[in-house]
Amino acid sequence: MQFAILGPLEVRDDNGSPVAIGDGNMAVFLDALLCRSGEWVRLHDLADAVWHDHEVPPSAYGNMRTYVWRLRLLFAEHGAGQRIESRRGYYRIRVLPGELDLDEAREAVESAQAALGNSDPERAVELLSKALVLWRGRPASSFREPTVHGPDELYWTVRERLAEAYIAAGWLDGAVTVLRELSTDDPFREGVWVSLVRLLHGAGRRSEAILAYHQACSILDAELGTEPGKELTLAYRAVLVDEVDLAPAPREPVTRNDLPRVLPQLVGRRDAVDTIEKVAREEKTAPTLVTLEGLPGVGKTALAVYLGHRLGADYPDGQRYVDLRAHSSRGEVSTADALRRLLGLTRPQNEVASADVDQLASLWRATTSALRLLLILDDVVDVEQVRQLAPGAAGSLVVVTSRHGLTGLDASLSLVVEPLRPAAAAKLLASDEFEDPPDADLVARQCGYLPAALHVAGERLHRQPGRTLSNLAVRLAEQGGRRIELAEVVDRILTSYWRLPDDHRLVFRRLCLIRDARITAVAAAALAGTETDHAEKVLDRLLNEHLLRRVSPNRYALPALVVDAARQAMLAEDSPNEIRSVRERLDATASASSVA
């Protein structure tokens, strides 16, 4: 099979014959799956893609089941076999190497990067030019969620890399053409204007460089009300004094702020903010390192970003944000790739592309040795990744978020971000439209006082006129109600579950069978049919992952929404007979304990 989504959707069988998908909702559904081929895609996300500009109809999930049934028939008729897989609440499409044009374009970018690293820019130009031909016009869906690895952002990356390859090959006219196209498509990306001004100046086209600078200034002022950044200003000054320097030497570090947008309000975190501010302003001989760990959805990233904006002025050499995606369905960001991104504005491309991770880390420390940077490392993989990404200056601040404890990291401050207190959670949920403190308290309790769950609940109220806090509280209290209404948060918790070893997952998902704060190592051993010593090790790991909380020296409990995640995993992976057998073992253990 051949799937083409970089333009109108096209599907062809192995003989080159077209497969009639049409251009309606089924085509948009298939396009949404192919954009994330190999990933489990939530039904909610697929529905948003298909009905993005309309209210999702009650028949949406039935319609999508029909699309899957029809697509499976079509693929089978054309000899493609079973391509669309399903599990509770998700679909996934499987494509083979060489079948999807999006994958072909991604591979071209990787190969071109390697060619540039090997000082072969002509080969890079050839690869990227062929990749550009893959884009054939407007896609089947006029709405695609923007992602770093998605078709739209990849189209930008291909052209950006092509401009770099043209410059490295000495083909300046080609580079100017591509950069002008990029500045037209997205005039707010200041880095493109910097490259264009420098390139025009270096090519002896001084008046065009000045004109490009003033175009950028006019757009930034009219649309964003901002002045040009430091790097663009420096490029313009070089034009005015006619200082030409196109050599690939390290550039002056760029003052850059790429922090995400701060939330309108951050409630219940005043003590944490005050503590971190105090530590950040203490004199140190190494970068200040603050770690924030806790349960998925507890608000670690929101707190880190809030601190970044609040303290940013104290770090004049830049405020950087890197999402390491340790628990993302899109896959982890390697330490080497993260370092290349951080070094991208300060070092020449060929120097960065060809270096290994240790060389990149050394280069990063050297580049930042005299800078005061604020760096947020979000959702890190492990301690070693933090060590490699930490800047080299004593005056810098690094804020790290992690779902698990970072044992062995010499942090200036380590905080466990807990769920909100009840009053703060109710305040976050309530608004002028939904002021009803008793019902807000009930909903907040059902949300486990997790900010992510409270935001989802609030969005549901706003998007569904006529719905009240009272009936939402009733719905959340129903069996299975939280798993449906707060599915986004439950899914985030399950990404931690999938990273556990098989024997740990077995224990975790069956812990939902133990009510209240009655989890013990003996009971956990009964759930898995294992030894108590092994069960204790599993419980320790779950504690470190913040999927379990200790309520007394030998007793534990699952947080509210973690119970729902465990139950969802159990229903998906354990048969009814297995669950019945586990319940019997658990009852027998409880009876033996009571007799003893």
| 418 band by pLDDT with thresholds 50, 70 and 90 | very high
pLDDT digits (tens, 9 = 90+) for 244-288: 444 333 434 445 677 887 655 678 899 999 999 999 988 777 899
pLDDT digits (tens, 9 = 90+) for 477-515: 888 888 888 988 999 999 999 889 999 999 999 999 997
Is the pLDDT confidence value at 540 over 70? yes
Q: Are strands 2-4 and 10-12 parallel, antiparallel or unpaired?
A: antiparallel
- 501 Cβ contact list (under 8 Å, min separation 6): none
**Tokens linked to 181:** 């196209």
Q: Report yes or no: 119 and 351 within 8 Å, Cβ to Cβ.
A: no
pLDDT digits (tens, 9 = 90+) for 349-404: 555 566 788 888 988 988 888 889 999 999 999 999 999 999 987 889 999 999 99
If 0-12 CB within 10 Å is exposed, 13-18 middle and 19+ buried, where does residue 84 land? middle
pLDDT at site 521:
93
pLDDT at site 436:
57
Report which secondary-structure segment, H or E, holds 376: strand 374-378
Is the pLDDT confidence value at 16 over 90? no
pLDDT at site 243:
52
Give me the residues paired with residue 3 across strands: 11, 100
pLDDT at site 504:
95
Task: Name the average pLDDT for the chain.
Answer: 84
Per DSSP, the residues of 117-169 read HTT-HHHHHHHHHHHHHT--SS-S-S-----TTSHHHHHHHHHHHHHHHHHHH
What does the pLDDT average to over 306-314? 88
φ and ψ of 72, to 5 deg = -65, -40
pLDDT at site 430:
64
Is the pLDDT confidence value at 159 over 70? yes
Q: How far is CA 399 from CA 180, 254, 396, 444, 492, in A?
A: 37, 20, 10, 28, 21
User: What is the maximum alpha-carbon separation in the chain?
Assistant: 92
Is the pLDDT confidence value at 596 over 70? no
pLDDT digits (tens, 9 = 90+) for 189-205: 888 888 888 888 877 78
pLDDT digits (tens, 9 = 90+) for 428-481: 776 534 455 678 889 999 999 999 999 888 887 777 767 788 888 898 988 888
Q: Are strands 549-552 and 555-557 parallel, antiparallel or unpaired?
A: antiparallel
Report the alpha-carbon distance of residue 161 to residue 471 in Å, rounded.
53
Is the pLDDT confidence value at 40 over 80? yes
Q: Using CA atoms in the order 546, 551, 553, 554, what is the torsion angle rounded to 10 degrees?
A: -90
